[in-house]
Each structure stands twice: as structure tokens, then as C-alpha cells.
Amino acid sequence: MAAYIKIPRRPMLKSIGIICRRINIACKNYDVFWKMRRKEAVVSERFKSSVCSYHQKCLSGLPTVRHASTIPEITKGVVLSPEKLSQQELADLHENIRKELNIESSDLDKVSQYYFDGKGKAFRPMVVTLVSKACNFHSSKLRDVLPSQLRIAAIAEMIHTASLMHDDVIDAADTRRSQSSINHMWGQKKAILAGDYVMAKASMALARIGNPEVVIILAQVMEDLVKGEFMQLGSKENVNERFSHYLTKTYKKTASLLANSSKAVAILGQCSEEVCNIAFEYGRNIGMAFQLVDDILDFTSTDDALGKPTVADLKLGLATAPVLFAALKHPELNEMIMRRFKGEGDVEKAREAVLKSNSIEEAEYLAYQHSREAVLQIQRLDDSPERRSLEHLTQRLLNRKK
């Protein structure tokens, strides 16, 4: 007697499975579906057409947006640009970092200061400074930035740059910000050791703030950065896992730094736990949106506009959001993802598949969701020029072309 009877899987069940899985990915992970039902979320026309007929019915009658890049909830009124609002505080940022890294003689001086030439966007210090101001205003009605908070802004930039130095060696990148990368100019060994040096200097600056809790928070960032890099080495067989793998990796590699340094400045401003969490969530969401847009631009932009070669992710064998969405429609991509686009013509085929499907739009929609969440979070703080500016920053992120 056979104790186990195998029930054949019906093809129809399988196709429903695919659809449901897709709903899972698009909705469950991001709470979109239920928020849409509760009329808390706006839906793009494309998104509606991409779900199955049953769910389409559920969603009918909800407001829609044509371009996912407009966020309706942003506070109206006068808005100053984030650069202007942080200009005064960040004017000497690179100068100060260079001073911090200064040592007599040897190449280390030149190598470690190479990226702190003042040409970088300094996006992270800007966010950190504005979050400090917005949180300080909410808690104490003072818009000043504490010296310790400014140090966190510099430390965030240093940690980011140190990780770039190492990433460029790992990814064998020859250019960075339209100039030669450190490993290209001075060789791999010096690039790595200089990265360690910058990281050590950042730790020293961090320790000298004298707050053990803040040290723990930023040490977590360093750990996340490495773990994110390790996650990039492998890819998951299972489609659902692959998506969450990608999102976790994105959090660890990009969002963790913004989230945790925002939280750190809120703690240094002696804000309540609620405010600290708002700062963290704002940083996390804007970080996720930032990276998603980055991954999209890798497909849609040109080499010149971006300052680095495009389709770089595919060439490195990395499957980002646009590819993962495209793979839902073009199952032949799955095989390429597993072999990390190493086959002949894989990169071109994958790029074509991405561009001809609506996966770019779906990835944009995901970025939009994170931006919107960032806006909702920061709006829980009292209204201030900095808060408005942070709201608008999310919008600008979505629309950026480079």
C-alpha cells in the first residue's frame, strides 16, 4: 500500500499561483494593496492593468496618477531648496573632513582626500543636517544644529566614501563621478588601506562625540554595509525570496546609513523616542527610494549624464528591481539572473526585456511608495522650512535624471 499519493498539480492552479505571487510582491510587501483599498494610496494606471481581473475590480474607482512621480500630499506653500537651507552649515564640510584626514607626508594624505574635493553631491550630509534642524525645531523650537549633529553629517559622508573606495575595487570600477577612481590611479592595495584609514578616522570622530548609543547605531551601519555587499555575491533561486533579498540588500547598502545617521542626530538633539523613529523611518524610506531610482537610471540614463557607465549592474551580474519586475513577464530572464548575466548577449537581452516591458514603471512606482512614506513620516513633525524642504527632496529624488 502506498502511504503517499502524489496529487498532480493542475496547470490552472499554477497560473493562479503566478498571479497571486505577483500580487504578493507588488502589494503585500509594501502594504500597497490594503492601503489602496482604504483609499490611502494612489494607484498608477499601469499598476491597475498589471493585476488580475479580480483585483482590478477591487481597485476600480480609486484615484489614479498618470506619473508616479508626483506626490499629492506634499505641503503647499513657500519651499526653500534643501541646498540653501543647509548651505551655511555644510559650507566647510569637505574642508573639515580634509582637515580630519590630514597627515604629514606619504601618499595616504592624497589618496584618502581624493574624493573629498567638494565636487560630490554631499547628499547624505544634507539630509542629516535638515533632519537635525527639523527634529530640533519639533522638540525645542530651535532650528540650530548642534556641533555634534554636524559631526554626524561629516561622519556619514566619510563612512559612505570609505565604502565607495572598497566597492570600486570589488566592482573593478575605473571611474567615479566622471573622474578616475582611486584604484585606477593608485592601485587596489592603496585604495583598500585608504578606505580603512577613512573608516578609522570616522570611528575616532564618532567616539569623540562621547555618546555610546550613537556609536552603537553607526557601528550597525558599518556592519550593514558589509553584509549588504555579501548579499550581492549570491542570488536566490526562489522568485519571492529574490525580491526580499534585493530589498534587504538595498536597505543594508544604502538606506541603513541614511536611516541610522538620521536617528543618531535625533538622539543627539535629545528628541523623544517617537521623533527618533520618525527620523529613522524618513531616512530609511528616502534611502530606499534613492537606490531604486539609481537602479532605474542605470537602465534609462546615458553614460555622460550619469558620470559612470550605464547597465553597470547587469554587467556586474546584479539583478535590480527593473530586472526582477521584468522577469515576472519574461520568465526567460530567470535563467539569466541565476547565471548572473554571464552568458553571451545576456546583458543586451535583459536590457531590452526591461525597456520593452513596463518594469521601469513598476520600479518607479515602488520608489514612489517609499517617497510617499517618507513624506508621511516627516509630516508628523511640526511644520518648519526644513521639514517642507525634506518633503520636496523626496519629489526631486523621483524626478532626478542623474
Contacts with other proteins by CB under 8 A lie at 103, 106-108, 166, 169-170, 172, 187-190, 192-194, 196-197, 199-201, 203-204, 206-212, 215-216, 218-220, 222-223, 225-227, 229-230, 233-234
Q: Is 138 left (phi over 0), alpha (psi -120 to 50) or beta?
A: alpha
Q: Please say which residue, 226 or 355, places its beta carbon nearer to other proteins.
A: 226
Q: Phi/psi of residue 344, each to 5°?
A: -70, 130
Q: Are strands 179-180 and 175-176 parallel, antiparallel or unpaired?
A: antiparallel
Output the smallest distance, CB 201 to other proteins, in A. Answer: 6
Q: Please say which residue, 8 or 210, places its beta carbon nearer to other proteins.
A: 210
Output the smallest distance, CB 204 to other proteins, in A. Answer: 4
Output the smallest distance, CB 107 to other proteins, in A. Answer: 6
Gap between the Cα atoms of 86 and 127, Å rounded = 9
Output the smallest distance, CB 206 to other proteins, in A. Answer: 7
**DSSP notation for 354-366:** HHHSSHHHHHHHH
Q: Which of 123, 398, 401 is nearest to 262 (CA)?
A: 123
Gap between the Cα atoms of 139 and 155, Å rounded = 24
Here the cell at position 42 is 494612489
Q: Please say which residue, 91 or 226, places its beta carbon nearer to other proteins.
A: 226
Output the smallest distance, CB 311 to other proteins, in A. Answer: 20
Q: Please say which residue, 11 or 212, places its beta carbon nearer to other proteins.
A: 212
Q: Please say which residue, 184 or 329, places its beta carbon nearer to other proteins.
A: 184
Q: Please say which residue, 30 or 251, places its beta carbon nearer to other proteins.
A: 251
* 161 within 8 A of 196, measured Cβ to Cβ: no
Q: Which residues pair with 64 in a beta bridge?
A: 43
Q: What kind and span of H or E run contains 180? A: strand 179-180
Output the smallest distance, CB 139 to other proteins, in A. Answer: 24
Q: Please say which residue, 142 or 172, places its beta carbon nearer to other proteins.
A: 172
Q: Which of 277, 281, 264 is nearest to 159 (CA)?
A: 264
Identity of residue 343: G
Output the smallest distance, CB 189 to other proteins, in A. Answer: 5
Output the smallest distance, CB 193 to other proteins, in A. Answer: 5
Q: Please say which residue, 75 or 220, places its beta carbon nearer to other proteins.
A: 220
Q: Please say which residue, 128 or 199, places its beta carbon nearer to other proteins.
A: 199
Here the cell at position 145 is 544644529
Output the smallest distance, CB 171 to other proteins, in A. Answer: 9
Q: Please say which residue, 24 or 175, places its beta carbon nearer to other proteins.
A: 175
Identity of residue 316: L
Exposure letters 52-78 (e unless 16+ CB within 10 A, then b): eeebeeebeeeeebeebbebeebeeee
Q: What kind and span of H or E run contains 164? A: helix 147-170
CA distance from start to end of the chain: 67
Output the smallest distance, CB 187 to other proteins, in A. Answer: 4
**DSSP notation for 27-90:** TGGGTHHHHHHTT-S-EEHHHHHHS-HHHHHHHTTS-EESSTT--TTSPPS----HHHHHHHHH
